[in-house]
């Protein structure tokens, strides 16, 4: 009788412990998955920019305003961003030590590093798209460019042009100068090129626009049947040239969703007026933001 009672007590004890054991085992089983989830959702660490001074090609916002926007997006505390008016100016400041890093897209960084092996690149978790910017009154022209881009994408020609002028461009070789054929169309579309995003937007040593964007314009011209003339201009003069109708289009970068978070949007001086003045085409090339640094 005493033996039976002892057995009963032991059985009850085991049953009482079982749920805890099962729960513990389940928790242990979940742990790797939870850890993986934490790693997957962890925010990128850009603290290496804290207290540093960066250089970037002239932006339409003030240096202080743009620095605040980038710090907000990255969760960093960089000291400041300094504007230059050219790619050469930015590289000069970086290599001379007057700047700690240079902000530039990944495609441009790859081009620069092939020619400057003493540099390295850190890419941000930030997507951008290349588009063409126009005056908001030129909706028909924007639609014409959009239609041409859709046809180039559908035919595979867009990917073919990118491969030839970006992916397969030999290291150390400057982009060639494509020729945009003239047509009998009486009017001309003027496109501004600064040359500050090689091999995308490039101007050769003799001042002639070249590279991927020009090759793209060659294909667009064939589809729309209109004359396209490329005008070289400084980055700082692009918006003035567009507003004064010296040019009709220039190349630009936008975020894919075209919408900024509210806390960032409020920091953008003139954000509303920008959208009221300008429109842009559908994206034709995806890029990533990041920084060039010395090794």
Tokens of 59: 């932006």
Residue 292 lies in a domain: no
| Residue 66 is assigned to a structural domain of this protein | yes
List, as one string, the DSSP characters of 207-268. S-EESHHHHHHHHHHHHH--EEEEEE--GGGHHHHHHTTS-SEEEEEE-TT----HHHHTTS
CATH number, position 71? 3.40.190.10
The structure tokens listed for 75 are 């969760």
Counting residues of the chain whose pLDDT is more than 90, the rounded percentage is 59
Check whether residue 78 and residue 195 sit in a common domain. Answer: no
- Pick the last residue of a domain from 93, 122, 151: 122
Examine the domain organization and report whether 178 and 34 are in the same domain: no
In b/e form, how buried is each residue of 28-45, taking b as 16+ CB within 10 angstroms?
A: eeeeeeeeeeeeeeeeee
Contact of 17 with 24, CB cutoff 8 Å: no
DSSP code for 72 = H
Q: In this structure, are residues 46 and 74 in contact, taking their beta carbons and an 8 Å threshold?
A: yes
Q: In terms of C-beta density within 10 A (0-12 exposed, 13-18 middle, 19 or more buried), how is residue 235 classed?
A: buried
In a domain, 293, yes or no: no
Is residue 140 one of the residues assigned to a domain?
Answer: yes
User: What is the Cα–Cα distance from 237 to 280, expressed in whole angstroms?
Assistant: 18
pLDDT digits (tens, 9 = 90+) for 115-146: 999 999 999 988 999 999 999 999 999 999 99
Asked if residue 214 lies in contact with residue 180, where contact means CB atoms within 8 angstroms, the answer is yes
Distance of CA 237 to the CA centre of its chain: 21
Identify the residue with better confidence: 261 or 193.
Answer: 193
Q: Which domain holds residue 64?
A: 47-122
Does residue 294 belong to any structural domain of this protein? Answer: no
d(CA 161, CA 192): 20
Rounded CA separation 259/216 (Å): 26
Q: Report the chain's mean pLDDT, rounded to a whole number.
A: 83
Q: Residue 147: is its pLDDT beyond 60? A: yes
Three-point CA angle 243, 86, 202, nearest 5°: 80
Q: What is the pLDDT of residue 41?
A: 53
Residues 79 and 187 in one domain: no
80-84 and 119-135 as β-strands: parallel, antiparallel, unpaired? Answer: unpaired
CA distance 147 to 198: 26
Among 90, 122, 154, residue at a domain's last position: 122
Please indicate, yes or no, whether residues 51 and 17 belong to a single structural domain of this protein.
no
Which residues, listed in sequence order, are joined to residue 229 by a DSSP beta bridge? 190
Crossing angle of helices 212-224/139-155, nearest 10°? 100
- Both 150 and 229 in one domain: the answer is yes
pLDDT tens digits, residue range 4-46?
444 444 444 444 444 444 334 444 544 555 555 444 556 789 9
The domain tally of the chain equals 3
82-93 per-position pLDDT tens digit: 999 888 999 999
pLDDT tens digits for 231-281? 999 888 899 999 999 999 999 998 886 544 444 444 555 555 777 889 999
Nearest to 224 by CA among 193, 252, 191, 189: 189
User: Where a domain ends, among 122, 155, 189?
Assistant: 122
| pLDDT band, residue 204 (cuts 50/70/90) | confident
Task: Summarize the chain as % helix, strand, coil (round to 5).
Answer: 45, 25, 30
Say whether pTM exceeds 0.85.
Answer: no
Kindly state the tokens that stand for 99. 């700047």
């Amino acid at each position: 009788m005493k033996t039976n009672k002892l057995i009963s007590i032991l059985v009850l004890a085991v049953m009482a412990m079982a749920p805890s054991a099962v729960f513990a085992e389940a928790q242990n089983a979940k742990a790797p998955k939870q850890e993986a989830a934490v790693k997957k959702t962890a925010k990128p660490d850009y603290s290496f920019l804290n207290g540093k001074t960066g250089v970037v090609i002239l932006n339409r916002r003030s240096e202080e305003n743009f620095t605040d926007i980038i710090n907000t997006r990255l969760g960093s505390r960089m000291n400041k961003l300094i504007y230059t008016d050219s790619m050469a100016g930015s590289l000069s400041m970086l290599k001379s030590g007057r700047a700690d890093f240079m902000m530039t897209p990944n495609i441009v960084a790859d081009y620069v590093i092939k020619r400057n092996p003493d540099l390295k690149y850190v890419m941000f978790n930030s997507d951008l798209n290349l588009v063409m910017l126009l005056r908001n009154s030129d909706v028909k022209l924007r639609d014409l460019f959009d239609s041409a881009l859709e046809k180039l994408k559908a035919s595979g020609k867009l990917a073919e042009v990118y491969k030839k002028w970006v992916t397969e461009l030999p290291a150390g070789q400057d982009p060639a100068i494509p020729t945009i054929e003239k047509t009998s169309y009486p009017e001309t579309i003027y496109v501004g090129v600064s040359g500050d995003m090689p091999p995308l937007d490039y101007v050769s040593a003799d001042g002639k626009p070249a590279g991927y964007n020009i090759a793209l314009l060659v294909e667009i011209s064939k589809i729309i049947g209109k004359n396209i003339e490329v005008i070289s201009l400084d980055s700082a003069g692009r918006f003035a040239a567009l507003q004064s109708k010296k040019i009709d289009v220039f190349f630009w970068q936008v975020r894919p969703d075209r919408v900024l978070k509210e806390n960032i949007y409020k920091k953008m001086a003139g954000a509303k007026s920008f959208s009221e003045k300008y429109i842009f085409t559908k994206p034709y090339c995806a890029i990533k933001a990041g920084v060039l640094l010395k090794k």
